[in-house]
């Protein structure tokens, strides 16, 4: 709903939104960007990129190679999201959900109690809904080995987690599985140095490029909204209140 609302808000104010035109490359010509869109291109005085850092690194021109190398080291991890619904079940606790330390379970990141946050979406007759998020070292190890992912694998892991951690031992009445590849940036030790290096390069070379999105200063939705706000202000040369 959020991207749909943003699209409506922008297009009503004369902003052109190009969908289905992925950026294929960036080049600088007389201080202006040329953005390649495959079979077409556009020119821009300034680019605000909300692409994942590693994706942007592959699009930058040769003269920005040092920046590309830094951005290429900001990796992202994959997450499998499994939605489960149980008929006639109850949670042993109330709340938004819980997180799971890797020492307890290397594959389960946490479980969200959807029925607590949004009981109006439980359907008729109502069924208890939870969302299990899978990832961590377990998923990374599977990716490294080139293992084939299947809906059954993720559903089994999620059901075991719900049974062990919440006592939901009966089979779910409904299950949805989505694998989001490389969806959450991973801030490793020394991440702030990468941000300083990128900012220094942009400032020294006066590149008309602003970095925004989840790869830099926070992965949550509210962090990304603030990142976009700050990026727009920098591009316009405005000072924002903290």
pLDDT band at 242 (very low <50, low <70, confident <90, very high): low
CATH number of the CATH domain containing 27: 3.50.50.60
Whether 241 maps to a domain, the answer reads no
Number of folded domains that form the chain: 2
pLDDT band at 143 (very low <50, low <70, confident <90, very high): confident
pLDDT of 145 reads 86
Please tell me whether residues 26 and 65 are part of one structural domain: yes
What are the pLDDT digits (tens) for 57-89?
999 999 999 999 999 999 999 999 999 999 999
Q: 26 and 35 in contact (C-beta within 8 Å)?
A: yes
Please tell me whether residues 174 and 84 are part of one structural domain: yes
- Neighbouring C-alpha atoms within 13 Å toward the C-beta of 10: 10
Please tell me whether residues 38 and 11 are part of one structural domain: yes
Per cent of the chain over pLDDT 90 is 80
Write down the pTM of the prediction: 0.84
Please tell me whether residues 191 and 181 are part of one structural domain: no
Please tell me whether residues 175 and 96 are part of one structural domain: yes
Query: Residue with structure tokens 């939901």?
Result: 168
Please tell me whether residues 208 and 154 are part of one structural domain: no
Beta-bridge partners for 41: 36
Whether 158 maps to a domain, the answer reads yes
Report the distance separating Cα 90 and Cα 152, nearest Å.
24
Please tell me whether residues 88 and 153 are part of one structural domain: yes
pLDDT band at 235 (very low <50, low <70, confident <90, very high): confident
Domain containing 15 equals 2-74+187-236
- Which of 167, 185, 203 is the last residue before a domain boundary? 185
Please tell me whether residues 114 and 172 are part of one structural domain: yes
pLDDT band at 137 (very low <50, low <70, confident <90, very high): confident
Q: Looking at the predicted structure, is the pLDDT value of residue 149 above 90?
A: no
Q: 82 and 175 in contact (C-beta within 8 Å)?
A: yes
CATH number of the CATH domain containing 121: 3.90.660.20
Per cent of the chain over pLDDT 70 is 99
Record the tokens describing residue 166, joined without a space.
């919440």
Q: Looking at the predicted structure, is the pLDDT value of residue 177 above 80?
A: yes
Whether 81 maps to a domain, the answer reads yes
pLDDT of 60 reads 97
Sheet holding 174-185, edge to edge: 97-99, 108-112, 127-134, 76-87, 174-185
């Amino acid at each position: 709903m959020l991207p749909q609302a943003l699209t409506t808000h922008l297009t009503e104010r004369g902003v052109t939104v190009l969908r289905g035109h992925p950026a294929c490359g960036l080049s600088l010509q007389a201080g202006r960007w040329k953005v390649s869109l495959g079979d077409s291109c556009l020119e821009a005085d300034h680019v605000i990129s909300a692409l994942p850092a590693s994706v942007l690194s592959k699009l930058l021109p040769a003269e920005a190679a040092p920046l590309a190398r830094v951005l290429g080291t900001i990796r992202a991890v994959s997450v499998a999201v499994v939605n489960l619904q149980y008929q006639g079940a109850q949670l042993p606790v109330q709340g938004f959900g819980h997180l799971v330390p890797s020492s307890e379970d290397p594959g389960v990141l946490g479980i969200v109690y959807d029925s607590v946050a949004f009981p109006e979406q439980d359907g008729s007759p109502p069924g208890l809904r939870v969302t299990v998020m899978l990832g961590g070292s377990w998923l990374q190890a599977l990716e490294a080995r080139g293992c084939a992912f299947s809906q059954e694998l993720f559903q089994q892991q999620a059901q075991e987690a719900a049974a062990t951690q919440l006592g939901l031992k009966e089979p779910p009445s409904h299950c949805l599985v989505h694998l989001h590849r490389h969806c959450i940036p991973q801030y490793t030790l020394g991440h702030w140095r990468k941000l300083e290096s990128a900012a220094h390069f942009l400032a020294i070379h006066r590149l008309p490029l602003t970095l925004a999105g989840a790869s830099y200063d926070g992965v949550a939705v509210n962090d990304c909204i603030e990142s976009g706000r700050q990026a727009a202000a920098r591009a316009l040369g405005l000072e924002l209140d903290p």
